[in-house]
Amino acid sequence: MDNQSVNKIKTVLVVGYVWPEPNSSAAGRHMLTLLQFFKSNGCRVVFATPSQPTDHMIDLSEYGIESKEILLNDSSFDEFVESLNPQIVLFDRFMMEEQFGWRVEKACPDAMRILDTEDLQSLRGARQRALKLATEFTIDSLKASELSKREIAAIYRSDLSLIISDFELKLLKDEFGIDVQYLHHLPFIIEDEFESTTTPSFDQRNHFVTIGNFRHAPNWDSVLFLQEIWPLIRKELPEAELHIYGSYPPKKATQLDNPRTGFRIKGWAEDAYEVLSHSRVCLSPLRFGAGIKGKLIDSMLAGTPSVTTDIGAEGMCGELSWPGLVANSKHEIVNSAVSLYQDPKLWNSLQSNIHPILTSRYQKDILLPVLWSKITDTYNNLSSHRNDNFVGRMLLHHTMKSTQFMSKWIEAKNKLEK
């Protein structure tokens, strides 16, 4: 580690899309990991968001992290960030870079700007649109979307973008021509090494499980798809149940709860690991989405093999074997779920695939030192790094001329309406 760089990077501002909820979503857990990462490297860390407080948000002060409520389209942010004078500003998702990136560049031009994409929102949106229209997803349809133009522009404007999936990293390089020096692969990070011997065995487990925030569109679509699939599985396994967990279940979800058929809407899980480790199979038939899936990482940590789709498994195991079965059609998913649930030999064989994946791709001690090295190297060479990125500088120039004045117009309009 470069001690000189550590001394230079004293203050980090994180502009969050929402308040962190590490017990509700993988994105919330990932954000907390990043906040603690900067804190562990001797930085003062301030988390700021325009989002409203939520039921499951954590108290950041318990982690030694400061918090600040900020306003959209308001020059009070300019005064705040100039006074704070951070060396690094990290934006949580491209929408926050759109809103606040030009303000940071104007008030603190020497601050390094990092974009944490979480997942490619445009990729998820294009896949969702294809599913809705019953058409095939194509790269051309992705490139044609307004969302992709906005998101790719934010990546170009940033000094460094954190990309959670190696599939998406390749997509950005090959299809959008983004130089690898402006990208960094950072998947979810786990604290402890997985040991399958500490989790319940096949015979000690029962039922199927799925888990995920109900407000996340791919999760809700998955629940609706499971409603179609479950009767076919239940016909083969009449004693089995499907337990569906997740935060913020709407009334339309709780109304699906049916003890008679074993289709159970359980809602909030106090301990996701406990729930997953006592279930035999994680059933996650995602029909659209992006990034990598926290529920499937959690399933691995619980020693629970899964049945998912190509989109569910995307970017998660590289060349290693998936710890479960991957299927896409309704018929294939049903057959895979029934086989995995009934066959202890198959179950144990697939569970053994978990350890190599977790230890080679998601370990904290491997990933975080590399991330810090990338950040400090970029920070120490920020001027030349930016000079090489003409497209980013061009987009930032035009953003300053368009987004800036639109924001100022909205601010003036809001003041007149008060």
Q: Phi and psi dihedrals of 412, rounded to 5?
A: -65, -40
Instruction: Tell me what pLDDT residue 3 has.
Output: 47
Encode the chain (418 residues) as per-residue pLDDT tens digits. Answer: 444 445 689 999 999 999 999 888 888 999 999 999 999 999 999 999 999 998 889 999 999 999 999 999 899 999 999 999 999 999 999 999 999 999 999 999 999 999 999 999 999 999 999 999 999 999 999 999 999 999 999 999 999 999 999 999 999 999 999 999 999 999 999 976 555 558 999 999 999 999 998 989 999 999 999 999 999 999 999 999 999 999 899 999 999 999 999 999 999 888 889 999 999 999 999 999 999 999 999 999 999 999 999 999 999 999 999 999 999 999 999 999 999 999 999 999 999 999 999 999 999 999 999 999 999 999 999 999 999 888 888 887 776 566 666 666 677 667 776 6
With tokens 């279940």, the residue in question is 249
- With left for phi above 0 and alpha for psi between -120 and 50, is residue 250 left, alpha or beta? beta
Domain locations in the chain? 3-189+363-417, 196-361
The reported pTM is 0.91
Q: Phi and psi dihedrals of 316, rounded to 5?
A: -105, -30
DSSP tally for the chain: helices H, then strands E? 19, 13
40-57 confidence digits (pLDDT tens) = 999 999 999 999 998 889
Q: Across-strand partners of 91? A: 15, 115
196-361: in CATH 3.40.50.2000: yes
Apex CA 92: angle with CA 295 and CA 142, to 5°? 75
Q: Across-strand partners of 208? A: 242, 281
| Per-residue tokens: 38 | 């900067």
CATH number belonging to the domain at 3-189+363-417, selected among 3.40.50.720, 2.70.98.10, 3.90.1150.10, 3.40.50.2000: 3.40.50.2000
Apex CA 120: angle with CA 327 and CA 316, to 5°? 40
3-189+363-417 and 196-361 have identical folds? yes
CA dihedral angle for residue 16, residue 163, residue 359, residue 375, rounded to 10 degrees? -80
- With left for phi above 0 and alpha for psi between -120 and 50, is residue 73 left, alpha or beta? left
Instruction: Tell me what pLDDT residue 405 has.
Output: 62
CA dihedral angle for residue 269, residue 275, residue 276, residue 279, rounded to 10 degrees? -140
Alpha helices per DSSP H over 72-145? 76-84, 94-107, 121-133, 139-144
As a whole number of angstroms, the longest Cα–Cα distance in the chain is: 70
Burial class (CB in 10 A: 0-12, 13-18, 19+), 259: exposed
- Written as one string, the DSSP assignment of 152-182 is HHHHHHSSEEEES-HHHHHHHHHHH---GGG
Instruction: Tell me what pLDDT residue 59 has.
Output: 95
